[in-house]
């Protein structure tokens, strides 16, 4: 049996990714299992989902604690979550990262394959939803599933209007994936556990490391209508001199303010990794 664990952030589509993957491998004649893990997460918060693959019926129903493979949909997630916890010796990590495997902050007795899924998703889909791109990378790095099967499985998980761009993202990621590299000599990034003595409500939490894209306000265009202030789910926006100002400590990069600004005064720009 092959066990796979996906790590992502709410809104990146980790749960949909495991469903597409399990369906695609099932189409190729194997037994599969997709396990979503829902909690109290919100958009941007770390989430996990699990997939099992076998030649015979799978009776195991537990979460995956000792995966053979780990898939990471967010380049900075390993700064707050130990994504390789329990990964079997000689295992494989497929990670969304713009740099080389040695720059990912992942280190251990496993291999790391990288792909800049955020760039592909932004270029092709127009949003940093990296699930289908990372599945293209998974197909390339593991050889466990065919790209054609993933493209077929997408049809049952996404609305028809989203299928062409998501299949295109898969194909582009498949072509752009770097070959797995031995990570035993790399330096592991420190995991910063954040604690708060305040109530766990939006404005008391620093969520800056959830962000892969950041809103930038063009103050010349801002007319001070407060629409972004009303819609921001993290209360990260205030009005200073009748212009929107963003507190980046509390901004998770969801892009809602940019979508809601009627004069297009807020542009989303990619964060440096």
The span from the CA of 251 to the CA of 114, in Å, is 27
What are the phi and psi torsion angles at 162 (to 5°)? -95, -10
Q: Which is nearer to ligand SF4, 27 or 225 (CB)?
A: 225
Two structure tokens written together for 8:
């992502």
CB of 215 to ligand SF4, least distance (A): 4
CB neighbour burial string for 169-178, b if at least 16 within 10 angstroms, e if fewer: bbbbbbebbb
Q: Any contact of residue 225 with ligand SF4 (CB under 6 A)? A: yes
One residue of 193, 215, 249, 272 binding ligand SF4 per CB under 6 A: 215
Q: Any contact of residue 224 with ligand SF4 (CB under 6 A)? A: yes
CB of 269 to ligand SF4, least distance (A): 11
26: Cβ contacts below 8 Å, ≥ 6 apart: 32
One residue of 61, 157, 254, 267 binding ligand SF4 per CB under 6 A: 254
CB of 139 to ligand SF4, least distance (A): 32
**Cβ atoms within 10 A of the Cβ of 46, count?**
17
CB of 248 to ligand SF4, least distance (A): 8
One residue of 162, 256, 270, 273 binding ligand SF4 per CB under 6 A: 256
Number of residues that bind ligand SF4 (CB under 6 A): 26
Q: Any contact of residue 234 with ligand SF4 (CB under 6 A)? A: yes
**DSSP string of 159-221?**
-GGGHHHHHHHHHHHHHHPPPPEE-TTSPPPPP-----SS-SSGGGS--GGG-SEEEEE-TTT
**Cβ atoms within 10 A of the Cβ of 217, count?**
19
Two structure tokens written together for 191:
């995991």
Residues 253, 129 contacting (CB under 8 angstroms): no
Q: Any contact of residue 144 with ligand SF4 (CB under 6 A)? A: no
Q: Any contact of residue 216 with ligand SF4 (CB under 6 A)? A: no
One residue of 252, 269, 270, 273 binding ligand SF4 per CB under 6 A: 252
One residue of 62, 251, 267, 269 binding ligand SF4 per CB under 6 A: 251
Residues 52, 2 contacting (CB under 8 angstroms): yes
What x-and-dash track marks residues 167-206 binding ligand SF4 by CB under 6 A? ----------------------------------------
| Residue 20, H or E segment | helix 14-27
Question: Which residues lie near ligand SF4 (CB under 6 A)?
Answer: 215, 217, 222-228, 232, 234, 236-237, 244, 246, 251-257, 261, 263, 265-266
């Amino acid at each position: 049996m092959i066990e796979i664990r996906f790590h992502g952030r709410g809104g990146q589509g980790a749960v949909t990714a495991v469903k597409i993957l399990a369906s695609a491998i099932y189409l190729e004649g194997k037994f599969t299992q997709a396990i979503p893990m829902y909690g109290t997460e919100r958009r941007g918060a770390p989430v996990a989902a699990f997939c099992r693959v076998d030649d015979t019926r799978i009776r195991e129903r537990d979460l995956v604690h000792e995966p053979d493979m780990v898939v990471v949909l967010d380049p900075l997630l390993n700064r707050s979550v130990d994504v390789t916890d329990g990964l079997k010796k000689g295992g494989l990590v497929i990670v969304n990262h713009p740099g080389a495997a040695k720059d990912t902050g992942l280190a251990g007795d496993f291999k790391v394959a990288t792909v800049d899924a955020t760039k592909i998703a932004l270029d092709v889909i127009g949003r940093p939803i990296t699930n289908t791109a990372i599945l293209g990378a998974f197909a390339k790095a593991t050889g466990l599933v065919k790209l054609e099967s993933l493209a077929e499985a997408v049809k049952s998980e996404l609305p028809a209007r989203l299928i062409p761009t998501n299949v295109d993202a898969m194909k582009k990621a498949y072509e752009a994936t770097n070959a797995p590299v031995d990570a035993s000599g790399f330096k592991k990034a420190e995991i910063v556990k954040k604690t708060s003595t305040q109530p766990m409500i939006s404005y008391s939490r620093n969520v800056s490391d959830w962000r892969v894209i950041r809103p930038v306000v063009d103050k010349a265009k801002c007319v001070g209508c407060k629409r972004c202030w009303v819609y921001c789910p993290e209360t990260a926006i205030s009005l200073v001199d009748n212009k929107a100002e963003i507190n980046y400590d509390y901004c998770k990069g969801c892009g809602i303010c940019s979508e809601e600004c009627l004069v297009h005064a807020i542009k989303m720009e990619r964060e440096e990794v």
